[in-house]
Structure 1
Amino acid sequence: MKELKRIIEVYENIDFTQRKAAMATVVKLYGSSYRRPGARMLITDDGRWEGAISGGCLEGDALRKARQVMSTGEPMLVTYDTMDDENADSLAVGLGCNGIIDVLIEPIIPDHIYNPISLFKTYTTHSVRDTAVLMTVFRTEGEPDLQVGERFLLLNDGTLHPSTTKNLPLFLQQDLTKVAQGGKSQVKLYEQPSGKIEAFLEVLHPGIHLVIFGGGYDATPVVRLAKEVGWHVTVSDDCVAHLTPIRFPQANAMVNANRKEILQHIPITPFTATVLMSHNYKYDMAVMENLLTTQVPYIGMLGPRKRFQKMLEQFESQGKTFDIEIINRVHSPIGLDLGAETPDEIALSIISEIQAVFAGRKGEFLKQKPGFIHERSQQQVEISSE
């Protein structure tokens, strides 16, 4: 989300009376690559760019191809075979990956109906807490109903953004819905009597919303690191003196709320992570009681393991019980075992654990992980239109 917002920011500062622009997007991958499908870079005709589609290997050639696209006004699909040493020599780069990468390079025209930046702006402005699915046609054969560069955006409420004058075929809309429900981006190949369509169905995630309860000095590096990786950060405390802009200049929001009424002020979504670090046992216990009634995916609490055990015992003595599923989402002690001692090191441990939890990973050493780091291919599904 951080990269996408930065691309939008750069786009809005382009003077299109003087400049032309193009966007390169990784739409398909077989094997391994530094960047995954959905990686983007915005390029202008003066040689500047924002974002990246590789670890620096492909950007130079993408710039050259982008100039062609800006000149012709027509999109181009480029395939980079990083498994082929001869291809690396022809590109004059050292390709450190081992995959075949399809990159769609297309002109960006502000008032064009298929301008992808307009769709991204719609999503980041109106759906900051929801997922969406963006379908991008990147390859065709024959004379199918859709053309390269056409896009459709399925919003979280199940409606299609009016991004095109054409009606999306029903079987494609059904696939968008399935991908939205599965939460995983896919590449799909569709066969029609008139031709073939290959499309990238990309799940757009709003990013993690980190809510920190407690405005102490050690919350500052947690806020800073979370913002550095692109998360939305809210700091909450029932003491307004702890919530000062000078202490948390990077925070998106600061909420002064009574400890028993936090759910009235802070929305909980599938992308919310909560961290309790007030050093005030009664405050943390009141916040914990509120959070245990929600479906928040992550609750982390600073302090020793016995601190949370004491809370559970007190809840039980008061006749309060909570679903075991939500109790298992509590991470106490908080963080990965990095040997952290200082506030900055502890912040790194906390942010690392939250990232691992939302990615469904264990936070282990990659060298000890069996198999590949990432999935090495995307499923292609052939569907015939009716």
Structure 2
Amino acid sequence: MLDIADDLHRWCAQGRPFAVATVVATSGSAPRRPGAALAVDAEGAAVGSVSGGCVESAVYDLCQEVLAAGDQARPVLRHFGYSDEDAFAVGLSCGGDIDVLVQRIDPAAAPEIAAALAAAASGEAAAVARITGGPAELLGRALLVRPEGAVLGTLGDEVRDATAAAEARSLLAAGRTGTVGIGADGSRCGEPLTLLVETSVPPPRMLVFGAIDFAAALVRAGAFLGYRVTLCDARPVFATPRRFPDADAVVVDWPHRYLAAEADAGRLDARTVVCVLTHDAKFDIPLLEIALRMPLAYVGAMGSRRTHLDRLDRLREAGLRDLDLARLHSPIGLDLGARTPEETALSIAAEIVAHRHGGTGAPLTGAHTPIHHDREPARHRNHPAA
């Protein structure tokens, strides 16, 4: 649901009731992950998707039915799997299975949902936990959890609320969306309840070092993928907003000094991506010496294989261990035969995506590996996990 927060927040601000269908469980080669949503308002307008097209019509009709029931509408949990008779109409042609929870949302009567959507639309950190499995009378109840500990809403029981809030904070800290099981009485045992915890966190950061033409293309690719992109170079004549209009920030500073300052200020996390394109040892080595000691999502450096071997020797001399060096993606990018800045940016972006999701980068044609991998990316409103 938070993946379409911009539209739903606008509907809430206008006081428009809507029905939202949310994927709450998947199996097999399902096209969307838990949290993906399709919403329909009273005028029939639709936003989002639960399956990439396979069952959209059936889910749309279900949303309209729930919405038409008005205030008396009860949440509906519906399973969609492969149908031999008419896969595209009522099943998933991909062969997977999804469970979808459809519920009516009246913004005035669901302040916790409205607040969660407002937080996600503005890029703030928040988590919303909804009951998606258990007694019918509890389905759809929601709890909003803020990182500082504030809670809005209730699942109907104080102990249950406390347990759910703790689970939600854990997923929020990791920037993950997923399902958890608790007991109906709030314990970790007893009659089971399933919670879908959706999280919203600020966009992850991409730091691109080196104000060159390849960097301009990579900045555009990073912005397209939903990263908040910073371009940094020590040379003021090259590091200008005019040359990098797609960057969220252009910084003139020595790369290693800027990275260290951002880390000290707490503005980097385990989702941060660092791409070193400077092609100059006096910039690369001090920067990589710091970056490879940090728990970052990805660290890559441009250069030939000969440059890479020389770089490894210099980093070992600086005290880095082989375990640290193993985290370095160099030469940066996947083997696409790239030549132009745009092709090279695509190569680098593809490697970042593959690394984030646990993909191999190999062609899917003829492969026997899963199309969708289990590694869950950190979610933010411009980059939903899908």
If the length of structure 2 is used for normalisation, what is the TM-score?
A: 0.79
Residue of structure 2 equivalent to 1:248: 244
**C-alpha offsets along residues 344-366 of structure 1, whole Å, 9 cap, x if unaligned?**
11111101111111222322233
Question: Distance in 2 between the 1:238 and 1:258 partners?
Answer: 5
Match of 1:258 among 254, 257, 265: 254
Residue 174 of structure 1, CA deviation: 5.5
- Over the aligned positions, Cα root-mean-square deviation in angstroms equals 3.4
If the length of structure 1 is used for normalisation, what is the TM-score?
A: 0.79
Matched, 1:296 2:296: yes
Letter in 1 for 2:234: D
Tell me, which stretches of 5 or more residues in structure 2 are unaligned? 375-386
Residue of structure 1 equivalent to 2:342: 344
CA contact 2:22–2:37 (8 Å) conserved in 1: yes
**C-alpha offsets along residues 193-240 of structure 1, whole Å, 9 cap, x if unaligned?**
996533324465655421111121211221222222222222112223
Residue of structure 1 equivalent to 2:37: 40
Tell me, which stretches of 5 or more residues in structure 1 are unaligned? 377-386
Residue 115 of structure 1, CA deviation: 4.4
Residue of structure 1 equivalent to 2:139: 148
Residue correspondence of structure 1 range 104-183 to structure 2 within 5 A: 104-113=101-110, 115-122=112-119, 125=122, 134-141=128-135, 147-154=138-145, 159=149, 161-164=151-154, 167-169=158-160, 170-173=162-165, 175-176=167-168
Residue of structure 1 equivalent to 2:179: 186
CA contact 1:79–1:100 (8 Å) conserved in 2: no
Shifted more, 108-117 versus 296-305: the winner is 108-117
Residue 366 of structure 1 aligns to a residue whose secondary structure is: coil
CA contact 1:42–1:50 (8 Å) conserved in 2: yes
| Identical pairs, percent | 28
Letter in 2 for 1:338: L
Shifted more, 13-22 versus 328-337: the winner is 13-22
Letter in 1 for 2:181: K
Residue 61 of structure 1 aligns to a residue whose secondary structure is: helix
Letter in 2 for 1:235: L
Residue of structure 2 equivalent to 1:334: 332
Residue 370 of structure 1 aligns to a residue whose secondary structure is: coil
Question: Distance in 2 between the 1:231 and 1:40 partners?
Answer: 22
Letter in 2 for 1:246: R
Residue 11 of structure 1, CA deviation: 2.9
Residue 320 of structure 2 aligns to a residue whose secondary structure is: coil
CA contact 1:188–1:201 (8 Å) conserved in 2: no
Question: Distance in 2 between the 1:246 and 1:168 partners?
Answer: 55
How many equivalent pairs are there? 362
Residue of structure 2 equivalent to 1:356: 354
Matched, 1:213 2:203: no
Residue 134 of structure 1, CA deviation: 4.0
Residue 150 of structure 1, CA deviation: 1.7
- Closer, same or farther in 2 for the Cα pair 1:198/1:119, shift >3 Å? same
Residue 32 of structure 1 aligns to a residue whose secondary structure is: coil
CA contact 1:208–1:231 (8 Å) conserved in 2: yes
After TM superposition, which residue ranges in structure 1, 4 or more long, deviate above 6 angstroms? none
CA contact 1:356–1:363 (8 Å) conserved in 2: yes
CA contact 1:209–1:271 (8 Å) conserved in 2: yes
- Closer, same or farther in 2 for the Cα pair 1:124/1:269, shift >3 Å? farther
Residue of structure 1 equivalent to 2:278: 278
Question: Distance in 1 between the 2:288 and 2:310 partners?
Answer: 12
Question: Distance in 1 between the 2:13 and 2:294 partners?
Answer: 47
